Amino acid sequence: MYDLHTHSILSDGEMLPTELIRRMAVAGYTTVGVTDHVDLSNAGSILASLRLVRESAELYGVRLLCGVEITHVPPTQIEAVAKMVKKQGADIVVVHGETPVEPVAAGTNHAACSCKYVNVLAHPGLITLKDAKLAAENGIALEITSRSGHNRTNGHVARTAREAGCRLVVDSDAHAPHDIPDKRAKFIVAKGAGLTDAECKEVLSLNIDRFLSA
């Protein structure tokens, strides 16, 4: 099991990175992206802190992806920030998409889908088919999320990704222990978004190495 989008106390989560990793391990996860919220003020320090717990994650049987979620950054700055964090060693770059429950700047989805340094567009709300096709061209996955509020548009995201030929991932956006879904709950999130059983199996068994190196 994988989760490419989680948060620790390094931003607005409730758990230390190591506690988050331990709880994910107990729930059955083997790959976890800790992707705390960043902008230009804190990206480097968060990545440096996460790298310190990589060995702890390995001892719990978890492959830690030290990452970021670029959050509420003006769309015209997203590419520069994404490029910067990749140069600083980020294993995964997530962009906080245009969820219907937060005042994310219009154009954020488009900027993220156009950027080769981005890996995942989180909870992209009512993403357009044009932007989903851009994401497909750039190897960027759209996120189906279990997080309350953000998940209101999961069905739209799944349908649009299918039409665009875009990769999907299913993530928790976990901030607290109760946010971590087990295997069955994660399948229900995918199925509830309108994916077929075959599509659920494909999405939930994603080869992370192949995806991140594409």
* Residues whose CB is less than 8 angstroms from the CB of residue 65 and which lie 6 or more positions away in sequence, other chains included: 4, 31, 32, 33, 34, 35, 91, 92, 208, 212
Mean pLDDT taken over the chain: 98
pLDDT at res. 38 = 98
Per DSSP, 75 falls in state G
> What is the CATH number for 12?
3.20.20.140
Q: What is the pLDDT of residue 214?
A: 77
As for how many domains the chain has, the answer is 1
Residues 44 and 192: their CA atoms lie apart, in Å, by 37
Give the tokens for residue 167: 């990769």
Whether the pTM exceeds 0.85: the reply is yes
* pLDDT at 36 > cutoff 80: yes
Using alpha carbons, select from 138, 50, 147 the residue that is nearest to residue 102.
147
- The Cα–Cα gap between 123 and 35 comes to 14
CA–CA separation, 168 and 172 (whole Å): 13
Q: Which residues pair with 31 in a beta bridge?
A: 2, 63
- pLDDT for position 33: 98
User: Of all residues in the chain, what percent carry a pLDDT higher than 90?
Assistant: 99
Q: Whole domain around residue 152: which residue ranges?
A: 2-213
Q: What is the mean pLDDT of residues 175-199?
A: 98
pLDDT tens, residue by residue, 97-150: 999 999 999 999 999 999 999 999 999 999 999 999 999 999 999 999 999 999
Summarised one tens digit per residue, pLDDT across range 51-93 is 999 999 999 999 999 999 999 999 999 999 999 999 999 999 9
Tell me the mean pLDDT in the region 166-184: 98
Q: What is the mean pLDDT of residues 173-185?
A: 98
Q: Determine the average pLDDT of the residues in 180-187.
A: 98
